[in-house]
Amino acid sequence: MQKGKIVVVDDEKMVTSAFKTLLKVEGFTDAAFFNNPKDAVEYLKSENPDLIISDFMMPEMNGLEFLTEAKKLHPETSMILLTGYADKENAIRAINEVGLYKYIEKPWDNDDLLMNIKNGIERSHLLSDLRNTIAELEDAKNKLQAYSENLEALVAERTKELTEANAKLSGIVNYCADGIIIIDKTGGIIQVNPACENLIGMSQKSLAKMKFQEIAYSHKPEMNSSANNQNGGIFGLNADKSEVILRDYFIVNKLSKEHVPVEISFAAISAENSLPERYVGVIRDVSVQKETEKLRDDFIATLTHDLRTPLLAAIQTLKFFLEGALGELSEKQTVLLTTMLGSNEDLLGLVNALLEVYRFDSGKLELCKTSFNFKNLVEQCYEEIKPLAQKKDIDFILNCEIPDNSEIYADKAELKRVIINLCGNAVNYTNKGGKIEILTKIQSGDLIFSVTDNGNGIPKEDLPLLFKRFSQGTSRKRSTGTGLGLYLSRQIIEAHGGKIWAESKLDKGSEFSFLLTGVEDIKNGRNLTERQKVNG
Distance, in Å, from the CA atom of 287 to the CA atom of 291, rounded to the nearest integer, reads 6
Most confident of 73-87, 314-328, 346-360, 423-437: 423-437
Predicted pLDDT at 480: 43
Q: Which residues contact 215 (CB under 8 A, 6 or more apart)?
A: 189, 200, 202, 207, 251, 252
Predicted pLDDT at 523: 41
Distance, in Å, from the CA atom of 279 to the CA atom of 270, rounded to the nearest integer, reads 8
Contact 180, 280 (CB under 8 A): yes
Distance, in Å, from the CA atom of 331 to the CA atom of 376, rounded to the nearest integer, reads 41
pLDDT at 88 over 80: no
* Spatial CA neighbour of 95 closest among 109, 81, 106: 81
* Spatial CA neighbour of 390 closest among 419, 358, 427: 427
To which H or E segment does residue 103 belong? strand 102-105
pLDDT at 481 over 60: no
Contact 278, 183 (CB under 8 A): yes
- CATH homologous superfamily for the domain 6-130: Response regulator (3.40.50.2300)
Query: Coil, strand, or helix at residue 319?
Result: helix
Q: What Å distances lie between residue 478 and 160, 206, 475, 482, 514, CA to CA?
A: 62, 59, 9, 11, 23
* Spatial CA neighbour of 438 closest among 425, 482, 253, 446: 425
Positive or negative: CA dihedral 201, 206, 207, 213: negative
Predicted pLDDT at 230: 47
φ/ψ of 230, rounded to 5, equals -95, -5
**By mean pLDDT, which of 129-133, 450-454, 513-517 is the weakest?**
129-133
Q: Which residues contact 235 (CB under 8 A, 6 or more apart)?
A: 226, 227, 229, 244, 246, 266
To which H or E segment does residue 151 belong? helix 110-175
Model pLDDT for residues 208-251, shown as the tens digit of each residue: 888 888 888 887 655 555 555 544 456 666 555 667 888 788 88
The topology (CATH level 3) of 370-535 is Heat Shock Protein 90 (3.30.565)
Contact 532, 518 (CB under 8 A): yes
**By mean pLDDT, which of 142-146, 229-233, 339-343, 397-401 is the weakest?**
229-233
Q: What number of CA atoms fall less than 13 Å from residue 232's CA on the CB side?
A: 10
Extended beta strands in 188-294, E state: 189-192, 216-218, 243-252, 259-269, 278-285
pLDDT at 489 over 70: yes
Predicted pLDDT at 149: 77
**pTM of full prediction above 0.75:** no
Predicted pLDDT at 531: 42
Query: Coil, strand, or helix at residue 402?
Result: coil
Positive or negative: CA dihedral 126, 129, 134, 137: negative
Query: Coil, strand, or helix at residue 421?
Result: helix
* Spatial CA neighbour of 472 closest among 483, 460, 486, 461: 483
Look at strands 446-453 and 278-285 and give their pairing: unpaired
Same topology for domains 6-130 and 176-285, yes or no?
A: no
Q: Which residues of 191-201 are buried (b: 16+ CB within 10 A; e: fewer)?
A: ebbebbbebbb
Predicted pLDDT at 158: 85
Candidate CATH numbers 3.40.50.12170, 3.20.20.70, 3.30.450.20, 1.10.260.40; the one for domain 176-285: 3.30.450.20
Distance, in Å, from the CA atom of 463 to the CA atom of 475, rounded to the nearest integer, reads 10
Mean pLDDT (whole number) for 511-536: 57
Centre a 10 Å sphere on the Cβ of residue 532 and count the other Cβ atoms it contains. Answer: 22
Reported as a pLDDT band with limits 50, 70 and 90, residue 348 is: confident
Q: Which own/partner pairs from 195-199 qualify as long-range (CB within 8 Å, at least 24 positions apart)?
A: 196/283, 199/251, 199/253, 199/260, 199/262, 199/283, 199/285
Q: Residue 27's beta-bridge partner residues?
A: none
Instruction: Please state the domain extents for the chain.
Output: 6-130, 176-285, 291-362, 370-535
Predicted pLDDT at 483: 64
Mean pLDDT (whole number) for 469-490: 62
Contact 327, 334 (CB under 8 A): no
Q: Which residues contact 220 (CB under 8 A, 6 or more apart)?
A: 248
Mean pLDDT (whole number) for 39-57: 89
Mean pLDDT of the chain: 81
Predicted pLDDT at 522: 45
Predicted pLDDT at 225: 54
pLDDT at 92 over 60: yes
Query: Coil, strand, or helix at residue 469?
Result: coil
Predicted pLDDT at 224: 57
**By mean pLDDT, which of 320-334, 365-379, 498-512 is the weakest?**
320-334
Q: What Å distances lie between residue 205 and 104, 169, 176, 192, 258, CA to CA?
A: 90, 21, 19, 10, 21
Contact 137, 131 (CB under 8 A): no
* Spatial CA neighbour of 528 closest among 278, 401, 519: 519
First to last CA, the chain: 104
Model pLDDT for residues 285-314, shown as the tens digit of each residue: 888 888 887 787 777 777 766 777 788 888
Predicted pLDDT at 226: 55
Mean pLDDT (whole number) for 246-273: 83
Model pLDDT for residues 444-459, shown as the tens digit of each residue: 878 999 999 998 888 8
Mapping DSSP onto H, E and C, the string for 15-84 reads HHHHHHHHHHHCCECCEEEECCHHHHHHHHCCCCCCEEEEECCCCCCCHHHHHHHHHHHCCCCEEEEEEC
DSSP code for 10: -
Residue 382 vs residue 460, higher pLDDT:
382
Q: What Å distances lie between residue 523 and 401, 447, 448, CA to CA?
A: 9, 10, 12
Distance, in Å, from the CA atom of 188 to the CA atom of 519, rounded to the nearest integer, reads 41
pLDDT at 361 over 70: no
Distance, in Å, from the CA atom of 31 to the CA atom of 43, rounded to the nearest integer, reads 12
Residue 478 vs residue 272, higher pLDDT:
272
